[in-house]
Amino acid sequence: MVGPLRAVDVIRKKRDGGKLTPEEIAFFVQGAVSGTGWMPYQVSALLMAIYFRGMDLEETACLTQAMAASGQRWDWSDLPGPVVDKHSTGGVGDKTSLILAPLAAACGVYVPMMSGRGLGHTGGTLDKLEAIPGFRVEWEPEQIRSILRDVGLIMMGPTAAMAPADRILYALRDVTATVESIPLITASILSKKIAEGIAALVLDVKCGRGAFMKHRPDAEALALSLQQVGTAAGLRLVTLLTAMDAPLGCCIGNALEVKEAIETLQGRGPEDVTALSVRLAAHMVLLGGLADSLAQAEARVRQALQSGQGLERFRRCVMQQGGDPRVLDRPELLPQAPHVEAWRAPRAGYVAALHADRLGQASMLLGAGRARLEDTVDPAVGIVCRVRPGQKVSPGECLLEVHYRQDQSLKAALPLLEQAVILEDGPPAALPNEPLVLHTWGAGTA
């Protein structure tokens, strides 16, 4: 292209299937943030062209770096240990961040965990943490530095100065039906993590009914893209593909999930939540260079769990971030819904499936999640699954506990609940979410 770059030429090039140069991608990202040379409708047009034509690895890596460079980048080189984070693409009942961050910190990893809010049927770590009375997720840079140094972890929301290009592009993607694009998702996730200044990252890509990616080939393509682009950006990276057909654990809803996370840190959590939290934390420990093998890293994390060191880290985190630490010993201090309704088995049978998507949607209708970004959430409401897949049930047995505030929201959720628990006459041949870890890419998988 001769002469100054023009948005229309970049859009045309991608529309016709061309490969964008690093200069064109930088021009696009800078223009999207500053408005120079790019109107929002032109930014949207290029997003749609990328949605249809895709981007190769090199273009995606360039886009990721340009988005990361659009704002502040943290530098943690003054910390005396490895700085590692974890990111999940989002699931139903996934409270592992609340468990693995203190466990990894107890093993010597520094975890500056920047999380998001729930949207649609999937929950968000920030909403869960804010169910703890007083817990704050927004901090000034100097406070972030001080909490991380002192506690070994901080759980926070994205700061305005970090990767502003992602905020602008995501808002446009949300209203132009261009969210579901692997290069755009890859750049969105990784640009924020690169700006976080971490040395290593563990990614948990969810796959199944309750996940963003419902089908394994799509989830694998996203996992590979994240793994390759992250590695090209200089991150040490492990990517796990994990099952999300049934909810993780028993509780769905913010305060209910905090309670289950605390129980897990007390060593009495559900098996799947414990196993996945330990596995992800172990990868963080291994990537941080604090163990020689995954088995050794897992042993260290289990020791932190069994000794209560993980729980104590979480207590310090809650205290430093303004939360009421008494909730760790007295969960009744967490917000509680005024009503609890039992959803009972209409007949005898075996639980063949617990549909994560329907339970997530039902929980959202109860008020635990948000349909649009600007909605507020009710920390107290949600669902507790009283049965697990494979379990035999009798007629009238409680399958689900519904914690609700308004009759209206219960009424809206009921049709989904009716379809969420699938009963069969005999024991199911295969159980959802088994195996939980479907595949692992990256170093330290031995």
Nearer to ligand URA, 117 or 300 (CB): 117
Is there binding between residue 239 and ligand URA (CB under 6 A)? no
Figure out which of the listed residues 188, 242, 320, 363 binds ligand URA, where binding follows CB under 6 A.
Answer: 188
Q: Does residue 166 have an active-site annotation?
A: yes
Cβ contact 90:211 at 8 Å: yes
* Piece of the chain touching ligand URA by CB under 6 A; list 46-54, 181-189, 281-289, 343-351: 181-189
The residue from 13, 128, 192, 403 that is catalytic is: 192
Of the candidates 217, 269, 231, 205, which has an alpha carbon nearest to the alpha carbon of residue 437? 205
Is there binding between residue 65 and ligand URA (CB under 6 A)? no
Q: In terms of DSSP bridges, do strands 421-424 and 349-354 run parallel, antiparallel, or are they unpaired?
A: antiparallel
Binding mask 314-333 for ligand URA (x = CB under 6 A): --------------------
Cβ contact 440:376 at 8 Å: no
Least distance to ligand URA, CB of residue 212, Å: 7
Is there binding between residue 185 and ligand URA (CB under 6 A)? yes
Least distance to ligand URA, CB of residue 294, Å: 27
Q: Does residue 192 have an active-site annotation?
A: yes
Figure out which of the listed residues 7, 45, 105, 189 binds ligand URA, where binding follows CB under 6 A.
Answer: 189
Q: Does residue 87 have an active-site annotation?
A: yes
Nearer to ligand URA, 185 or 327 (CB): 185
Cβ contact 198:73 at 8 Å: no
- Long-range CB contacts (within 8 A, 24+) of 263-270: 264/95, 264/99, 265/99, 265/102, 265/103, 265/305, 265/310, 265/311, 265/314, 266/308, 266/311, 267/305, 267/306, 267/308, 269/99
Instruction: Write b or e for each residue in 19-37: b if 16 or more Cβ atoms lie within 10 A of its Cβ, otherwise e.
Output: ebbeebbbbbbbbbbeeeb
Is there binding between residue 191 and ligand URA (CB under 6 A)? no
Nearer to ligand URA, 185 or 262 (CB): 185
Of the candidates 124, 148, 136, which has an alpha carbon nearest to the alpha carbon of residue 74? 148
The residue from 166, 272, 357, 378 that is catalytic is: 166
Is there binding between residue 225 and ligand URA (CB under 6 A)? no
The residue from 13, 87, 128, 283 that is catalytic is: 87
Nearer to ligand URA, 107 or 184 (CB): 184
Nearer to ligand URA, 166 or 260 (CB): 166
Q: Does residue 181 have an active-site annotation?
A: no
Q: Contact residues for ligand URA (CB under 6 A)?
A: 170, 179, 184-185, 188-189
Active-site residue list? 87, 166, 173, 188, 192
